[in-house]
Chain A
Amino acid sequence: MSIRESRIREPRLRESRIRESRTTAPSRDRPYRTRGSADIMKPSLAGLIGKYAILVVILGVMVFPFLWQLSTSFKGATENIYDFPPTLIPQAPTLDNFGEVFRTIPVLDYAWHSLLVGVGTVITNVLFATIGGYALGTMKFRGKWIVLAIIFSTLLLPGEVTLTSQYLTVKSLGLANTLWGVFLPGAIGAINVLLMMAACRMIPPDTLDAATIDGANTMQRLRHIVWPNVRGMVSVVALFSFIGAWDDFLWPLVVLSDPAKYTLTVGMEYLSSNFAANPRVIAAGTMIALVPIIILFAVLQKQFFKGVEEGSVKG
């Protein structure tokens, strides 16, 4: 139906719809616009089919590289991986490529290093961002604006700008070429403190006062009032910290010089540029780096999307 038509028919249609909704229960809520409905926010049936077609095409673009890589990692040495149209199901699936990766580079060590750094980053960020955010969000104290100014100012400062000097700092602490050096600079993120501050502001002050009157000290209030109230934001901070640490490449690349100490991302680059012989083996390696994070995301996606919507500015 064209818009002009709908404009003319609109009042009558609307009346009939109202009458209809009075008499029958609105049980048949179709995802597309039925004949006679004036709901312009819904596509027509043909439009809906077209929409699904576009969605599927984009889906192809978004997941094809991953599927292709996955299938490549299972293909034998004789199979052509670059043919077109691509065959995504290997003719003779084999695990040889994974065995080869384990022989070429210490993948398990790399994964363990990434996991250590990731888990460490999650723990410190959650702990220190929560207590810092609690103080900034609910307490009044002298010099608070200075603290806020210091924390806010770092949001303007991309980590890449301070790369060289940060390396010098870590080196002067004697932590160059160690996992501690990879972990420490990201241990407390300014943005996480601000997110936790926003979450702690939402706690009703009366609740905290009531707890104080009942004799709860700061630690008890943190444990029994603040923590249950900010758990949603905590999961967001934890997820973002872990994925940020797991995916980071530039900083571990700068800090670590000994291939035995690499994290997964640096290890993958090392594998692909130094042992460039067999793309199947490299594909198997990247799968080892990719699968854990995809599973983690699939399990926790609900909190994740909530977090992106609430926190909006963290990448």
Chain B
Amino acid sequence: MKRQRWFTPYLLVLPAVIWVLVFALWPFLNTVVLAFTDARPLRPVEFIGLENFARLFQDERFGYALTTSLVYVVVCVPLLTFLPLLLAMLVHGKIPGIGFFRTTYYFPVIASAVVVAIVWEFLFSGSGTINAALKFFGLADRPIEFLSDRWLLIFCAIGLTVWKGLGYYMVVYLAALGNVGRELHEAAAMDGAGAWRRFWSVTVPGVRGPMMLVSVLICVGAMRVFTELYVLSHGSGGPGGRAMSLVMMIQSMGKGLNGQIGYASAISLVLFLLTLVPLAVVGILNNREAIAEMRATRRAAKITRGIRITQGAAR
């Protein structure tokens, strides 16, 4: 049966393909090329080979940015992998009014990062509510300047990211928790497993797949952090710009008439390679058996070949 003219499907996918090519793949290829040039606005472009990357190693600011982003990843991944799971277990059961709690826990997710970062800025400022609370409980005699110390600023931003992300990953886990059969829980309980043991032996293996996905998403997301640090530091990147993340550095390097587009592109490329790492790790973990099998076959092939060679030599 003829359903449509031959060109109809091409016509239908054309806009999407054009968009992806013009606004994703072309800029990416452009980034890769520019990373090897000294491109600046209003100046002819010259290829300089690996000079940008050599410069990265000496650039103090890049070192700080890389540290900030990696610390962000290392702290965010465990927190945002397990806290939302606990939260999901808490709101999983059918008890009266649970829908209300689920919905309100989601508010921070839909609010713009700029808006919540501004709220946090007030709460954590020198005269803010957190300092007032510390003073009230007698924990600090003078206000702590959370936002003008490199590490305190970074940890404030991490707190903000975790707080904002809780609801989102909670919902992801909620769907997965529905698939963990209650028979397993009952069987484990009958065998004498306490709540703690059941959490590690039934719940966690039951949500292993989504957990893997969630930790990769967090890993990539934490590497891409921008808004929280930008707003909390008013765009300056903290004292001496040492609390900048990689994306903040890309943004500040590439902007304006003096923007070092080539150098910013080199940083972008590094960022891209870093975001591939968690994906590769998960890919290897998921296909571990297949890879082990492949290795085994190769080894077996080598051995057989070895045997054949020795046999040939013996003959």
Contacts and interface: CB of A to CB of B under 8 A. Distances in A.
B135 interface: yes
B26 interface: yes
A117 interface: no
B56 interface: no
**Interface bin, chain B:** 35 or more
Given A63-B107, A72-B122, A164-B261, A212 B31 contact: no
A51 B8 contact: no
Contact of B115 (A58, A63, A268): A268
A190 B182 CA distance: 37
B241 to A, nearest CB: 15
B275 A158 contact: yes
A165 B15 contact: no
Interface stretch (B86-94, B289-297, B301-309): B86-94
A42 B182 CA distance: 11
Interface in B177-214: 182, 185-186, 189-190, 192-194, 210, 213
Interface string A214-255: 000110000000000000000000000001001101100110
Contacts of A129: 16
Interface string B104-138: 11111011111110111111000111011101100
A51 B96 CA distance: 12
Given A65-B116, A154-B25, A249-B113, A188 B4 contact: no
Interface string A153-181: 11011101111111111000000000000
Contacts of B217: 313, 315
If over half of A's interface residues share one DSSP class (helix, strand or loop), that class is named, otherwise mixed; here it is: helix
Interface string B139-169: 0000000000000000000000001001110
Interface residues of A, number: 103
A193 B20 CA distance: 11
Contacts of A315: 168, 217, 221
Interface in A54-77: 54-55, 58-59, 61-63, 65-66, 68-69, 72
> Across chains A and B, which 8 residue pairs bring their CB atoms closest together, nearest first?
A84-B132, A165-B27, A135-B12, A132-B16, A162-B27, A247-B112, A165-B30, A188-B19
B121 A51 contact: no
Interface string B242-265: 000001001100110001010011
Interface stretch (B47-55, B60-68, B74-82, B227-235): B227-235
Contacts of B189: 3, 6, 40
Contacts of A26: none
Given A268-B115, A272-B121, A161 B31 contact: yes
If over half of B's interface residues share one DSSP class (helix, strand or loop), that class is named, otherwise mixed; here it is: helix
Given A55-B101, A247-B113, A153 B25 contact: yes
B185 A308 contact: no
Given A81-B122, A213-B1, 7 more contacts: A58-B101, A139-B4, A157-B28, A160-B250, A162-B24, A188-B16, A282-B118
A182 to B, nearest CB: 12
A290 interface: yes
Contacts of B26: 165, 169
Contacts of B255: 254
A167 B250 CA distance: 12
Contacts of A286: 115, 118-119
Contacts of A208: 3
A304 B167 CA distance: 13
Contacts of A65: 108, 116, 119-120, 123
A102 interface: no
Contacts of A91: none
